[in-house]
Each structure stands twice: as structure tokens, then as C-alpha cells.
């Protein structure tokens, strides 16, 4: 790591900003409702822009609404090191999923300004548009368009359940910017995030050094049976697609929990039976399917398992079926250079750390296509996220921001005014268990 002064973020200041941001779209249960490109999102963007401008950062917005707050480097022609995440939330989301990464990055820059630290490369704090995908599909939209994985025109045409398009919503809140989308080099991308799972907390570690993101595949499974009257039709005479689905689910859960343990993940999140009549046996059922695994070959096998168990259940009852692919995200492996920078920062600061794969999608999945990328995780209480009960402590936020700071200095080229000595409060031995 480059030689820099003894440097730490101001954890209290970071926490105050997190609390102020959480008041935008606050819910009675302590979470936030701040859907992408909503009025609440506009207010969050405005606040972030005000804070960035107060630090002398130049703020630009591109054509899909991604925001970049730039701090110049001594060699401003070098590609920037980008630090950031997102400010949008789930409908009943937590206060830290996304904002921690944006505001910790802002705190890193504030700390540099406060202590007169210069970096060789410029640093940009990013707020990526519509990471959650809760209002407009697909998720991770802004970073996906930036990386070239998504087409801008398709993204702008995406509509919410009310029929409002991204184009209309982004214009309504005034955040369709003039800056070009992507097409420029990034020196690196670092994202601080809550883990959204229980691994760090269960292991007693303070920092997760993220090595990549497990692959994800989304499908819509449609099973077609035969509508019938709920009263006169005997059970053995029914071609009930819900019953067929139930038989398939038993086999699927059993196989995923045995053949693909411990890393396989299987989720059926949305189920719709039609016609939606209380006294009619449905003729059709549609269910969303989410499968995940850190190995692409295992994902292939899980997809085959999904098809086999569905075919078996349908054949037993004479039903038909189809599996529509909705989205595929292959397994991501992050940059060795960024992983080393995060690991070195965690060790330097005296935090207990462990390597792990991310279980959820993040904007870093897409930035990994165009730049060396790494992620930092901090624990969240009980592993709970996408939930108003999502919780972290001020100390955990500060720890993540300190690691982000020193990893950024490593990648951007930090100042050289003395040896680095960033001791965490009550430091503990670094290194994986």
C-alpha cells in the first residue's frame, strides 16, 4: 500500500448522512420506500448532489441518470477510480442497501479534502440508476447501460406496472443528463455494500473481501392444465396446474438441497393462477423462478433439473409446460488487483476479514465488464436485507468506509506524507478464519 498519513474516516459524520438520507422515503417501520426515478429518488439525488458540490466536486449526469461526483487527481488525464453504489430501494427496503456505498464513498472524499490528501488518479463517487429493478426491470439498469450490456433504447422503454416508462420518469424528475453513457476508461471500480446474508456475522468477521458474484438465472415457468368447476369435478379427473406445480416443487427443492448444497439457491417469488376465481380450478399457472450458484456448470445442471422435474410432474397429470428465460447473469470473478487492495486495506486497518462470494447482484457485476472491479462487505444484523428491519451499526459502517478509503488510495495512488497507520477501534487480528 502507498505511504500515506494515519488516516480514518469520520464515522459520526458518515452515520449522520446515512440517517439524513434515510429520512427521504422513510416508512413507519424504519425502512425506506424510494423507488428508482420516483419523487423520493429525485430528493435523494438532489441531496447527494448538494453534499458533493459542497466538497468542491464536479457533478455530471449521463443519459440514463447515473451520477458521477468527480475529485481531480494530480494526473487528471488518468482514468478515474470510481467508488459508489445506488440510492434507490425496494418498496419496503432497508436504509443501508445501496446508500452505504454511495455515502461512504462521499465520506472518503470528504476525508481526503479535510486532510489535504491528493491522489494521482481522479476519484469519482457514483450513484448508479435503478440498481434494485423494483419499479423498472431489469435490475442494475444504469450500470448495465453504462457497461454496454443493456441497450439504452430498451432501458428507456422499460415500464413500471402503471405503464410509466423510464424515459417519462427520468424526464419528470429532471435527471436525464447530457453526459455520454459509458465509452470511457475507468481505472477501477470499488463498491462497499452490506452483505445481505448471515455469513460474516456468523463467522464473527468485520469485513468481507468479495471475490466475485454467483451466477443467476431467472425464468417464468408456465404450466397449462384445464379449467374446471371446483365443486363437481373429482380430484382424480382434474388437470390442475397448481397441483402439478406442487409435485414439481417437492422434487426441485429436494434435489437442490442435496445435489447442489451448500451453494445452490432456488426461489419461487411470484405465483399467478388464472382465471383468478375462487371456485374454478385454474387452467394455467405462472411462477417466477430464480436459481443461483457460484459455478456456471452447476447452474446448467440446476436448469436441467428444473426442466426434468417439471416434465415429470406434467407427464403424471397430462399437463403442458414451457420455461421462458427472463435474465441470465453468469458468475463474475473480480479483479485480482482490486481484491488485493481490499484485503490489504482490511489487514492494514486491523479488521478481521474473510473472502466470500456475493450472493446477490450488484452494479459491480456490470462494471466488471469494463474495469477492474472489487467489493467490500460489512455484516448486517441477522443477514436481513430487502426488509425494513435491515440493520448495521455505526462501527460497521465506519469499518467498511475505512477499508474503502485505503483500498482507494492503493488504486488511485495516495499521498506520501508519512507511514500509514490506520488502527481500528479495538483492532483485532486480520486474516481469514
Predicted pLDDT at 348: 96
Per residue in 137-160, pLDDT (tens digit) is 899 999 999 999 999 999 999 999
CA 32, CA 48: separation in Å to the nearest integer?
16
> Mind listing the domains of the chain with CATH numbers?
11-214+332-412 (3.40.630.10), 215-329 (3.30.70.360)
Q: How many Cβ atoms sit within 10 Å of the Cβ of residue 184?
A: 12
Q: How many Cβ atoms sit within 10 Å of the Cβ of residue 174?
A: 12
Helices 39-54, 99-115: axis angle to 10 degrees equals 10
Predicted pLDDT at 2: 46
Contact (CB, 8 A) for 385 and 203: no
- In this prediction the pTM is 0.86
Predicted pLDDT at 227: 97
pLDDT along the chain (433 residues), means of 10: 73 98 97 98 98 98 98 96 98 96 98 95 98 94 97 97 97 98 97 95 97 94 98 96 97 97 94 96 97 96 98 97 92 97 97 94 95 98 92 98 98 62 36 34
Cell of 158: 422499460
- C-alpha closest to that of 344 among 409, 394, 396: 409
Contact (CB, 8 A) for 221 and 320: no
Predicted pLDDT at 118: 95
Helices 99-115, 394-412: axis angle to 10 degrees equals 60
Amino acid at each position: 500500500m502507498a505511504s500515506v498519513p494515519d488516516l480514518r474516516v469520520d464515522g459520526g459524520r458518515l452515520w449522520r448522512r446515512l440517517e439524513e438520507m434515510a429520512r427521504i422515503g422513510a416508512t413507519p417501520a424504519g425502512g425506506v420506500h424510494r423507488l428508482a426515478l420516483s419523487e423520493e429518488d429525485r430528493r435523494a439525488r438532489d441531496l447527494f448532489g448538494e453534499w458533493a458540490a459542497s466538497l468542491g466536486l464536479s457533478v455530471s449526469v449521463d443519459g440514463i441518470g447515473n451520477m458521477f461526483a468527480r475529485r481531480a487527481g494530480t494526473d487528471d488525464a488518468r482514468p478515474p477510480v470510481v467508488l459508489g453504489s445506488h440510492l434507490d430501494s425496494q418498496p419496503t427496503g432497508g436504509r443501508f442497501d445501496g446508500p452505504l456505498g454511495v455515502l461512504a464513498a462521499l465520506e472518503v472524499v470528504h476525508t481526503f479534502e479535510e486532510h489535504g490528501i491528493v491522489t494521482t488518479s481522479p476519484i469519482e463517487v457514483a450513484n448508479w440508476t435503478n440498481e434494485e429493478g423494483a419499479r423498472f426491470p431489469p435490475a442494475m439498469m444504469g450500470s448495465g447501460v453504462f457497461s454496454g450490456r443493456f441497450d439504452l433504447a430498451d432501458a428507456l422503454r422499460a415500464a413500471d406496472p402503471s405503464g410509466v416508462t423510464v424515459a417519462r420518469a427520468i424526464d419528470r424528475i429532471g435527471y436525464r443528463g447530457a453526459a455520454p453513457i459509458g465509452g470511457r476508461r475507468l481505472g477501477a471500480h470499488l463498491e462497499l455494500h452490506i452483505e445481505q446474508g448471515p455469513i460474516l456475522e456468523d463467522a464473527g468477521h468485520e469485513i468481507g473481501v468479495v471475490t466475485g458474484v454467483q451466477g443467476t438465472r431467472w425464468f417464468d415457468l408456465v404450466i397449462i392444465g384445464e379449467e374446471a368447476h371446483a365443486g363437481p369435478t373429482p380430484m382424480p379427473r382434474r388437470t390442475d396446474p397448481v397441483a402439478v406445480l406442487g409435485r414439481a416443487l417437492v422434487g426441485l427443492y429436494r434435489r437442490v438441497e442435496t445435489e447442489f448444497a451448500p451453494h445452490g439457491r432456488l426461489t419461487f417469488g411470484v405465483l399467478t393462477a388464472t382465471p383468478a376465481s375462487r371456485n374454478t380450478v385454474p387452467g394455467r399457472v405462472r411462477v417466477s423462478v430464480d436459481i443461483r450458484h457460484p459455478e456456471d456448470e452447476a447452474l446448467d445442471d440446476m436448469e436441467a433439473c428444473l426442466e426434468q422435474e417439471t416434465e415429470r410432474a406434467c407427464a403424471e397429470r397430462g399437463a403442458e409446460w414451457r420455461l421462458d428465460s427472463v435474465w441470465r447473469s453468469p458468475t463474475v470473478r473480480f479483479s485480482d488487483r482490486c481484491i488485493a487492495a481490499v484485503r490489504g486495506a482490511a489487514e492494514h486497518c486491523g479488521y478481521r476479514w474473510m473472502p466470500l462470494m456475493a450472493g446477490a447482484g450488484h452494479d459491480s457485476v456490470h462494471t466488471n465488464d469494463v474495469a477492474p472491479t472489487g467489493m467490500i462487505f460489512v455484516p448486517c444484523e441477522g443477514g436481513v436485507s430487502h426488509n425494513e428491519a435491515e440493520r448495521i451499526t455505526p462501527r460497521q459502517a465506519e469499518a467498511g468506509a475505512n477499508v474503502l478509503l485505503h483500498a482507494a488510495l492503493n488504486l488511485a495512488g495516495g499521498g506520501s506524507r508519512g507511514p500509514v497507520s490506520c488502527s481500528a477501534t479495538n483492532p483485532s487480528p486480520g486474516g481469514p478464519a
